[in-house]
């Protein structure tokens, strides 16, 4: 049975992706820092879908722990067919006021980890000429909304590049670029979101279903929700001074 590995699988989009892949019949390797929570999820998924679930505790800001996940992805005897690079977090403070250690951790999780994990899994996928990689980016990757936006820009462009580089193979790479989603993300970042209207919130299960369909069609970028498709077009094609102004205003309201 094919195996999928999901980072940040203990909640939110990562958990939604783990459930979707379990329903699709994949065995799973789920990765996060909270091992008790991972073990609970593993038992639930095993019971509901009769699949094998391996839990892997890893803090992706720690090189030795990141290396454990790389090692699993590079295992040719028990190959990974699907990689979901989902782990991430945001920083509430402006870069001017933020903690440098926290900024470095953001780069480690949002940029370094997906790059290294993708690099680890690709040789086996190329040898087998099969595989799917989804990098969970953000609608923020097209606006100037702080270092989070900058990191997500890397993920979107990286995915577009790989999608094009691997044309002619059966390996599919897609960037999922959602907008505001009902998860623990904003609560953990202590961001103020009470002013956001209901129609701007996305459901994690629905956006993951859309992402998976787009990834299977080898779409380089997946933007769930009509409201965010419109915003993505504005962010990509509107004059950059306007986009920068919108980006900084959104960030200030979150603080």
Give me the CATH number covering residue 95. Answer: 3.40.50.720
Which DSSP state fits 64? H
Which DSSP state fits 110? I
pLDDT bucket at 234, cuts 50 / 70 / 90: confident
pLDDT bucket at 182, cuts 50 / 70 / 90: confident
Report in angstroms the alpha-carbon separations of 128 from 34, 70, 81, 168, 180.
33, 18, 9, 14, 36
Task: Name which of 133, 185, 172 is nearest 155 in CA terms.
Answer: 133
Catalytic residue ranges = 148
Q: What percent of the chain has pLDDT over 70?
A: 89
pLDDT at 194: 64
pLDDT tens per residue, range 16-53: 999 999 999 999 999 999 999 999 999 999 999 999 99
Say if residues 4 and 28 touch (Cβ distance below 8 Å).
Answer: yes
Mean pLDDT, range 236-247, rounded to an integer = 74
pLDDT at 189: 43
What is the rounded distance in angstroms from the CA atom of residue 237 to the CA atom of residue 204?
A: 27
Phi, psi of 143 (to 5 degrees): -120, 165
| Most confidently modeled range among 81-95, 155-169, 190-204 | 155-169
Domain that holds residue 45: 3-254
- HSE, CB side, 13 Å, CA atoms: give it for residue 171: 24
* Number of domains making up the chain: 1
pLDDT tens per residue, range 138-165: 998 988 878 999 999 999 999 999 999 9
Whole-number average pLDDT of the chain: 90
- Taking 90 as the threshold, does the pLDDT of residue 183 lie above it? no
State the maximum Cα–Cα separation within the chain, in Å, rounded to a whole number: 52
């Amino acid at each position: 049975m094919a195996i999928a590995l999901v980072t940040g699988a203990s909640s939110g989009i990562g958990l939604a992706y783990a459930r979707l892949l379990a329903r699709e019949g994949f065995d799973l390797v789920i990765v996060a820092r909270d091992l008790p929570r991972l073990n609970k999820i593993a038992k639930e998924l095993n019971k509901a879908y009769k699949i094998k679930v391996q839990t892997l505790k890893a803090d992706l800001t720690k090189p030795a722990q990141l290396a454990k996940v790389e090692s699993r992805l590079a295992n040719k005897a028990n190959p990974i067919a699907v990689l979901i690079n989902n782990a991430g977090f945001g920083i509430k403070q402006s870069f001017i006021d933020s903690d440098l250690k926290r900024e470095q951790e953001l780069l480690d999780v949002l940029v370094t980890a997906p790059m290294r994990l993708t690099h680890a899994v690709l040789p086996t996928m190329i040898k087998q000429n099969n595989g799917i990689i989804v990098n969970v980016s953000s609608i923020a990757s097209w606006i100037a909304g702080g270092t989070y936006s900058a990191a997500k820009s890397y993920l979107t462009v990286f995915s577009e590049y790989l999608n094009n580089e691997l044309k002619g193979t059966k390996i599919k790479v897609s960037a999922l670029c959602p907008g505001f989603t009902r998860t623990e993300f904003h609560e953990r970042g202590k961001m103020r979101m009470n002013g956001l209207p209901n129609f701007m919130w996305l459901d994690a299960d629905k956006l993951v279903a859309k992402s998976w369909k787009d990834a299977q069609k080898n779409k380089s970028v997946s933007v769930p929700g009509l409201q965010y498709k419109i915003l993505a077009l504005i962010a990509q094609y509107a004059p950059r001074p306007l986009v920068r102004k919108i980006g900084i205003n959104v960030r200030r309201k979150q603080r």
